[in-house]
Structure 1
Amino acid sequence: MARRGATIVPPVDAARGDASRWRMGLLWLLALTAIVVAGVSTVAITKLQKDAERSSELRLLLTEMQSAAWQQSTIRLEAVMANRLSPSAAQTRQEIHDYIDAIGDHFSLRDPGNPQAQAVQDTFETYDHAVDEEFILLGRGDIGGAQRLDAERAAPAYKQMTLALADADRHYKQQVDNASARAQLGAGLIVGSGALIMLLLVWQSHRLRSRSFRRATYQASHDALTGLPNRVLLHQRITRSVDADTGAALLLIDLDRFKEVNDTLGHHYGDHLLIEVAQRMQAILGPEPTVARLGGDEFAVLLPGVSNAQDVAALAGDLQKALAEPFLLDGLSLTVAGSIGAALCPQHGSTADELMQRADIAMYAAKTRRAGYLLFDDSQDSTDPRKLTLASDLRRAIDQNQLTLHYQPKVDAHTATVLGAEALIRWHHPEHGMVPPDEFIPLAEHTGLITPLTRFVLDTAVRQCRSWMLDGHQLSVAVNISTHQLLDLGFPTTISDLLTHWQVPARLLTLEITETAIMADPDRALQTVQQLHDLGVQLSIDDFGTGYSSMAYLKTLPVDELKIDRSFVSRMTTSERDAIIVRSTVELGRNLGLNVVAEGVEDSATRDQLDAVGCNAIQGYYISKPVASTGFGDWLTEHANLAAASPTRKV
């Protein structure tokens, strides 16, 4: 019996209530599940996003390792071609080495337990050790040893590292792809409860990942300072142009005097100047050609579909004109110039590496000859086996003091008093015998060995001058100076330090310069000559009359002496034209207050004519052939004895 006041729940209603509560609990459970799934999926997607970005960053590092290794290979190739590792190239290589070491060392720690990462680290260490040893050999001038090491160790190590880099890149690309697939699966799990939210998250994840990948790709293929394509992207575009078989031209541009801007005004102005140069070249060339920055002050221009030498020369001229216009930087007006080398496809190469190499050789030749622009030809290529051997041997000869100096006396044309001597370098090669100066001196200029060679000649000659002083002879010594030294604004300081070291008065050193060297860059040459003159060094224009445009600068150059070229002197007794040239030069020198020296005097008749026209000094085989330093004292004694025995005899 039911109690009063109690509510009786029908069995059906109770069942409905229980079902409702069960459904409500289920809904809450589903809702909670959806929330948990959404939360877990969100966390999972965030992790996937980070994993994808991390994998993309590792791919970028792999790309940068590949690029840095390629740049080291390029520097090694340039050093082999030039037969020397220049200080600037050594510094650039060291910067690349430090950068790639920061990536390659402990690469496995960036992805612990991953065999691909470990393989990258292992192969990198093998490659790095081999390349370090190779550049040590290059720095010592052992080109042959470096090439052998490259063939035996560095090249195989580079190949193994490249394979490891490619395998790791595929692995990390797969990780990126897998992460994307799992993120999409996570999005599908929460469609029912949070489709919109998850859709936004997936979209955001995809957007961030794409942005990260695009940024990484761009950074790996473009110069950070100028935004131009870098060496890697340029190489790819050259390859595409070559494969298209429609012809192409490649120009390499090296800025002249850029180092002065950096050293004098600082890197801020140097960077600003590089940006302005990049923008100006792009404005001149338009959108079709590729303008790239290869590093430092070196740029490149790729012209697809252009293979006509005249068209390339015209475009190079436009670039030079554009670069010659002043750059206004923070109120300062700066001027630079560019040495341009060009190579054509297929005439000069059928691969990207060949074109880069040939254009680089042409650019180096243009810079060395101060020609402005040169198109590659075989005569510029110093990879001839004999030249390579001689260059390597010359470097060793300089380092090991295998070179000697001979001294050709210079005497007063009237009294035969010994005034001094000209230092002439001699190289007795252990295998080739006596190598003519006109063979190894141009080689030194082409390979950059002219600087240490000139330093050796100057140091030896000034030391010999000091020796003569100690023996009681106040004799001057004359040394020939190349264009490179004449255009080096730091050269006067080198001379000053040398004279101070050997305690030789500046007046006893004569530097012989040619008209051609002066005309290479008259304004710059004038600065150097003026500083040398201020030191008290005697300056002589050598081979006078064989150059060009010297008259315009003769009145402004603070020189002390003219040397009449032997081609005029040796024929003056048989050729009235040559005799007139000699007489005119002597008169010109006298009117300008300059001493005049005639070289190439080989007989008494020539000496008598020179004395008659008032030439100050003479030099040549009639006086004496070049004498080794060990025999010069004996020659002085013999000459003095002859003069004492025959007071009326001039020589």
Structure 2
Amino acid sequence: MKPGMRKFSSASPSAADLGKLRVAPGVDRRRPSTGRSAGTSWRRGGVWLTGLAAVTVLGASAASITSLQQVAEQRSELRILLNEFKAAAWQQDALRSEAMLARGLPSELADAREEIDDTVDTIGARFDRQDPDSSHTKAIHDAYLAYDTAADREFQLLKYEDLQGAEETAAAQTDPAFAALLPVLEDADGDYEALAEQASGRARTGTVVILACAALLIMGLVWQAQRIRARALRRATHQATHDALTGLPNRTLLRERTAAAIDRPRQDGTGTALLLIDLDRFKEVNDTLGHHYGDQLLVQAAHRMQQAVRSGETVARLGGDEFAVLLPSIAGEPDVTAVAARLHEALNAPFTLDGLTLTVAGSIGAALHPHHGDTADELLQRADIAMYTAKGKRIGYTVFDHSQDSTDPRKLTLASDLRQGIEQDQLVLHYQPKVDTRTGKVLGAEALVRWQHPEHGLIPPTEFIPLAEHTGLITPLTRFVLDTALRQCQEWLRDGHELSVAVNVSTHRLLDLDFPAEVADRLQYWQLPAHLLTVEITESAIMTDPDRALHVVQQLHALGVHLSIDDFGTGYSSMAYLKTLPVHELKIDRTFVGSMTTSDRDAVIVRSTAELGRNLGLRVIAEGVEDMATWQVLDAAGCDALQGYYISRPVTADAFATWLRHQRGAPAAIAP
């Protein structure tokens, strides 16, 4: 801002600050539609007609002013100034409304904000030049600054999606500031009228009219801005609490309504129930027909569920193909079962999607308050367990029962303890060696995570890995395993053992586009060559989203990381992708290896897999080797490396170092 200029809104965020905002997922970044209702068009048109009338009257007045040249020049300057202010104010409010609707600011809007800032600076300077000592000049600045600052505070709250805070700010600050601005404008109008009295009657009349029109213009623009902001706030609030595709309440609103239903006093003995619904064959539709059909299916399923419930009961979409139904007032389990049966029947009826007829079933789990939980989160967790029970048993729907296997209280406790276990270093890695089939030379080790629970002792991964995947803790868990394994690999290298280390990666991490960058960062931190790290992935993880998995695998390959398909032969439909995946090795699953000396079928599978690997130029590793006879058969079949209890059980890092010192490099020297 140039020296001497007073900016109208010095507390406004800069264009750089506004440019940091991001548009929320699912929000259209384009400018709002120009389609308006008749009422809106009339109101908006009224503001501009007022401005046109003011300019027309001013022109007529100016023609009659011949003697008071100074007053005429001042009036002309006011006309230009007020018109420019009108344009700047309108642009500023239009920009705010777009940013509020988007809860962010694209680059084109950020550039527009810079231009508006420059215009407001210029207007402030011209106000000062025209009447720098006038009290009403300062009053206009101060009142508009207060109003604009409050509006910007709303903008910042919306930036962080604090819709409640934005509403409170509007009620407590922006609206009062607007109310305070109006009398300031009226006082300024009176002052300008007094100034106009010094001129001739005609000049005075012209000046009074233009100043009154200017005040009316500003008041109209501010009122219009208030309407735009209120409408945008309502729309932003709806977007934050509803699903964009189906229009249903989302997880946030469902939790609020569930908590309110639980807390409501009851005299009739009723309770609250929460049902969780998962579409059984949605992924098949999405993968086979495409997302367009999948979206249609979700919309139709949402409509059917709404038709199956009563007024006052909430159908919500939690994400993907997962829905929930809140029954705020239910007599008991039989009524819940009846609702679940209606929902199940509605979802079992055929769907018609662009002329195609499809049948998609649903699995439903239910939980009741106070029998199964005291909070919204507890009810959702119990309903989730019941839903998976219904899906696993293929029974359509079921109500949560403490006798269900998956509702073991110990597992529920472990789920809540796992985060603390990761943060407090309760997890440890064990290492199981891999050896060369022909020479017995140690090639490396697979890192296997264990949980040393302070109360339950050593917990195997089969118990807590599914919990980590279900609760979202798989990301910090994988990060811990990767970092610890690379540190151990670096210690082996420092001790003169160039051994690779293998880390298992879950489906969640394999589909995480940020995972390759995380691997690159840890390799650089530990100063390790990438080929000493092997990432083990499963066929089923690849087939969950082949295109996305291929993208991640290609990035890992570009780093120089070795890639292994774990449990090969137990997945499905992977042969078509095997030729395109840049993998280095196949691991034959222990279910085939363990019985190959007694089962001809398993022996054929192992030999065929080994031959397939050789023909593709891949190293083949057999896991589950538990005796010398199996070792010898695998050697004859052409397997390159072995892993199993006959060689060594998974052991701690210290025990692995001791085991390593006692090896002589020959099969006969390796103890069980």
Relative to the length of structure 2, the TM-score reads: 0.50
C-alpha separation between the residues in 1 aligned to 2:352 and 2:341? Answer: 17
Counterparts of 1:469 and 1:600 in 2: how far apart (Å)? 27
Of 512, 515, 528 in structure 2, the residue corresponding to residue 491 of structure 1 is 515
Q: Residues 479 and 392 (structure 1 numbering): CA distance in 2 closer, same or farther, change over 3 Å?
A: same
Q: Letter of the aligned partner of 1:513 in structure 2?
A: I
8 A Cα contact 2:305 2:315, kept in partner: no
> Which residue in 2 is equivalent to 1:442?
466
The residue identity in structure 1 corresponding to 2:509 is Q
- What is the deviation of 1:510? 0.9
Tell me, in whole angstroms, the C-alpha distance in 1 between the residues paired with 2:296 and 2:605: 50
- Deviation per CA, 1:477-527, whole angstroms, max 9, x where unpaired? 011111211222222221122212212222111111122222333333223
Alignment of 1:316-355 (within 5 A): 316=347, 342-343=364-365
Partner of 1:10: none
Residue aligning to 2:562: 538
Partner AA of 1:621 in structure 2? Y
CA contact (8 A) 1:561 1:597 kept: yes
1:130-141 equivalence runs, <5 A: none
8 Å CA contact 2:557, 2:563 repeated in 1:
yes
Is the 8 Å Cα contact of residues 431 and 448 (structure 2) preserved in structure 1? Answer: yes
Q: Does 1:626 align with 2:664?
A: no
Paired position in structure 2 for 1:431: 455
Does the alignment pair 1:610 with 2:634? yes
Are residues 284 and 543 of structure 1, via their aligned partners in 2, closer, same or farther at CA, if it must alter by over 3 Å?
same
**Which deviates more from structure 2 when the two are superposed, residues 400-409 or residues 288-297?**
288-297
Q: Distance in 2 between matches of 1:577 and 1:296?
A: 43
Secondary structure of 1:625 counterpart: coil
Shift of 1:459: 0.6
Judged with a 3 Å threshold, the aligned counterparts in structure 2 of structure 1 residues 376 and 490 are, in CA distance, closer, same or farther, namely farther
Equivalences for 1:46-57 in 2 at 5 Å?
none
The corresponding residue for 1:573 is: 597
What is the match of residue 518 of structure 1?
542
Aligned to 2:578: 554
Structure 2 counterpart of 1:598, from 622, 637, 649: 622
Change in Cα spacing, 1:224 to 1:630, as seen in structure 2 (3 Å) is: closer
Give per-residue Cα distances to partners, 1:272-295, cap 9 Å, x unaligned. Answer: xxx999976666667665775578
Distance 1:360 1:430, change over 3 A: closer
Shift in Å, 1:422: 0.5
Counterpart selection for 1:307 from 311, 315, 338: 338
TM-aligned CA distance change 1:350 to 1:572, over 3 Å: closer
Alignment: residue pair count: 425
Gapped runs of 5+ residues in structure 1? 1-91, 111-211, 258-274, 326-337
Distance 1:322 1:401, change over 3 A: farther
Give distance in 1, aligned partners of 2:406 and 2:485.
30
Q: Work out whether residues 601 and 623 of structure 1, in 8 Å CA contact, stay in contact via their aligned partners in 2.
A: yes
Partner of 1:404: 428
Question: Secondary structure at the residue paired with 1:529?
Answer: helix
Query: Relative to structure 1, is the Cα distance of residues 602 and 296 closer, same or farther in structure 2, using a 3 angstrom cutoff?
Result: closer
Superposed counterparts of 1:115-154, under 5 Å: none
1:361, distance to aligned residue in structure 2 (A): 5.2
Distance verdict in 2 for CA 1:619–1:638, change over 3 Å: same
Cα distance between partner residues in 2 of 1:394 and 1:224: 31
Q: Deviations over 1:289-338 (max 9, x none)?
A: 57755789886567999837575346447899879x9xxxxxxxxxxxx9
The letter of the residue matching 2:617 is G
Equivalent in the alignment of 1:473? 497
Match in the other structure for 2:528: 504
Identity across aligned pairs (percent)? 53
Q: Which residue identity does 1:415 align to in structure 2?
A: T
Structure 1 residues 180-217: Cα deviation after superposition (integer angstroms, max 9, x where no partner): xxxxxxxxxxxxxxxxxxxxxxxxxxxxxxxx9xx99x
* Residue in structure 2 matched with residue 585 of structure 1 by the alignment: 609
**Residue 548 and residue 313 in structure 1: after superposition, are their counterparts in 2 closer, same or farther (change >3 A)?**
farther
Letter in 2 for 1:307: A
Shift of 1:95: 6.2
Question: Counterpart of 1:459?
Answer: 483
Residues 278 and 387, structure 2, Cα contact 8 Å, conserved in 1: no
Cα separation, partners in 2 of 1:394 and 1:353, compared to 1, 3 Å? closer
Distance of 2:367 and 2:423 partners within structure 1: 40
Cα distance in structure 1, aligned partners of 2:240 and 2:476: 37
SS at structure 2 position matched to 1:444: helix
The structure whose Rg is larger is 1
Q: Counterpart of 1:546 in structure 2: which amino acid? A: T
The AA in structure 1 aligned to 2:459 is V
More deviation in 453-462 or 302-311? 302-311
1:41-69, CA deviations, whole angstroms, 9 ceiling, x for partnerless residues? Answer: xxxxxxxxxxxxxxxxxxxxxxxxxxxxx
Greater helix fraction, Structure 1 or Structure 2 = 1
* 8 A contact 1:343–1:358 mirrored in 2: no
Paired with 1:365 and 1:588, the residues of 2 have a C-alpha distance of 43
Unaligned runs of 5+ in 2: 1-156, 175-229, 283-294
Q: 1:621 to 1:382 in 2, by over 3 A?
A: closer
**How do residues 144-183 of structure 1 correspond to structure 2 at under 5 angstroms?**
none
